[in-house]
Structure 1
Amino acid sequence: MLEIKMEECVSRGLSSDLASLLRCEGLTTITLTRLDQLVTKVVSWFSAIHQPLTSDLQRNATPLLNLADAFYDYFLLLCQTSLPVSQLSVVLLQLARFALDQDIHFPLRLEAIRTFNSILEFLSREQRRQIQMDQNQTPILSQVAAAVLTVGDYELQVSLSEALCRLTPRKEREHRANQWFSCRDISRAFCDIRDVDFEVDCRRFLNFVNRYHGDQRRVYTFPCVRAFLDSTELFRPKDEKLDEFWIDFNVSSGCVSFFVDEPQGFLWGSIHLLKEEVDRYSLYLKQDGCTGAETVLSVQLNTPSCTRTAEVVRWS
């Protein structure tokens, strides 16, 4: 009866029902075998959309982007069902490869690595330990570390750094960082990231990484004095360890982004000013008799439903 229910969920695309079914019924040897076949089939489908996602003609097609998002949601649900570690590793590898592929639409790359980290967050300590020991993960982690230095988007840098931290036991982090990063200063800065203060420490690490590359950097970060969305003032996250209200100009993803306080949520909120949504912008110096000159960036955004103005100010 369980096999029939599973087949019905798969044939009708009811991924959430399948996840609930497996949680309620438990897993037998027969079910595990079927699940192994199912995961293999789904991963092969996911791999099949790679070619159109990298095609210039189709990579931004809405149905295709929605399909990729559906796969991410499905993987997340599937990995909450006591999936064998061998299959978890296969799913994680596929997501990491998508995140690293520069030909794939950027938001899908970011969402792939976020899904990767979300899956790891759901796992038990023993499951994570087994994933950490999986030799198949070693080469992809080296590629993830290399991408941190070059991806050209701060949020993607953060998510890639998070993946490295999640899959590297603390006692092995220094050894692996020395293998990943040829620059000893970058390696030491990475090892300074503490899991308990990840957001703040990762900001310091990535600011150092991006400054290290000088004029060749792909992310330019500046301290922001004040920021407004229309007439609403935005504030930096309420974390006493955060030393500045940082704003990131991301060359590769073509957006301006910054994290803000989100009173209704537990996590930091984020604002993105996407290049394709910008109608016009202005940049000028504002003289202030008390504080000196400020550089003011004002951006007019067009969206299908409304027009918004974002203004950010930083010290000159």
Structure 2
Amino acid sequence: MKAIAYQKFGNTDVLQTVEEPKPVIRANEVLVKVKAVSINPMDWKIRKGEMKLMSGSTFPRHTGVDFAGVIEDTGAAVTNFKKGDEIFGVVKNNMKDGALAEYVAVPVTNVWKKPANISFAQAASIPIVGAAAVTALEKMGNINAKSHILVNGATGGFGMFLLQLLKQKKANVTAVASTKAVDLAKKWGADTVVDYTTENVLALQKNYDIIIDLSGKLGYTNARQIMKPKSLFLNPTPRPIEIPTSLFKNLFTGKKHLVMLSQASSKNMEVLLNAVSKGLQIEVSKVFPFTQSMEAYQYAERGGVIGKVAIEIN
């Protein structure tokens, strides 16, 4: 089978199309004929070696974490799926495995039935950023119409899910986005949209109960300027040093800095599938063919993507 792999850390030019044996499944696994893979920032952070403490440094390595496809075969212990089922899921180990190939073998606990009313590219876009959005919602606690929430970098994949989930909670949401994404941010549920190309959210003299920095460009130090005395800063893209230091600093301030880590699970997929059934929109702004996988990553890594970018495999 064809797969995308790389033999050293680096930029997109290290990605290669290679021939590999089709995976052999274990009793609790399913073999999936991959139809689509979505791109996440995690992919290139791992590929560039930024996460080698967690991912290790062995090669060859593969890329792509979440995918959608059709079950080709099931292990002896699998009873809830059969050949031909359309599913979406995540690879076994986010840091070491990759789904950007013609076939992938994963534990049956890592896949879920694909809703019939969405495409493979849309389904492949759900797990990583969708799980992060559900986790963020849980970390925010009891929010309602009186909760003033700022979402910085609001119209990427993570923001797309989060804005729509926040709308269901009736929270008062301010989204920071680019000019081209203003209308979508409003459509997804933002009450107010700050166009960062013409306005600085720090200069608007408005304070928030919760700030979540999806772009990683605002930072807790800056965010403190527009946080209420008792408020929460959610950080889903922490630097390693921020994980222990945030715990210490939180002892001395009402402006809490919470590092957020998430993982796709059946619990948060149930929340997302329920939301999709109620009309949650999944915007895949650009789809590349498998033969242009390198170009797909180049496009995604330039930033400013609305919704998700996906790669389709015929």
**TM bracket, shorter-chain basis:** under 0.3
TM-score (norm 2): 0.27
| Larger RCO of the pair (alpha carbons < 8 Å, separation 6+) | 2
TM-score (norm 1): 0.27
- Of Structure 1 and Structure 2, the greater strand share is in 2
